[in-house]
Amino acid sequence: MTPSELKTNFARNLRYLMIVNRVTVKQLATETNICSRNIDRYLAQENVIPMDKMVQIADYFNVNIGSLLTKGNIYKPKSHGATAVPVLGYV
């Protein structure tokens, strides 16, 4: 996997997990001790995420690292007591 593919896949999958779990950048930063500016950079595909940060994020969302890097849909959202359903458009 090229660095470009890694950045693209990670950003897409992280954004998806954040939407499904209703987690903001600020919340993720606070919970994982990762600077919110760095999370923004990962989402914007500006930086390749270091392995230790990737492990922290995978642990937070209760997924394996492969789920963050793959093009496929193998997600296991963290349970918050309710089922979150991604919605396109307005509710």
CB 14 within 8 A of CB 42: yes
pLDDT digits (tens, 9 = 90+) for 10-38: 999 999 999 999 999 999 999 999 999 99
- E strand or H helix that includes residue 52: helix 51-61
pTM value > 0.95: no
Cα of 71 vs its chain's centroid, Å:
13
Confidence of residue 86 (pLDDT cuts 50, 70, 90): low
**Identity of the amino acid at 37:** R
CB 4 within 8 A of CB 69: no
So what's the pLDDT on residue 2?
Answer: 87
CB 57 within 8 A of CB 32: yes
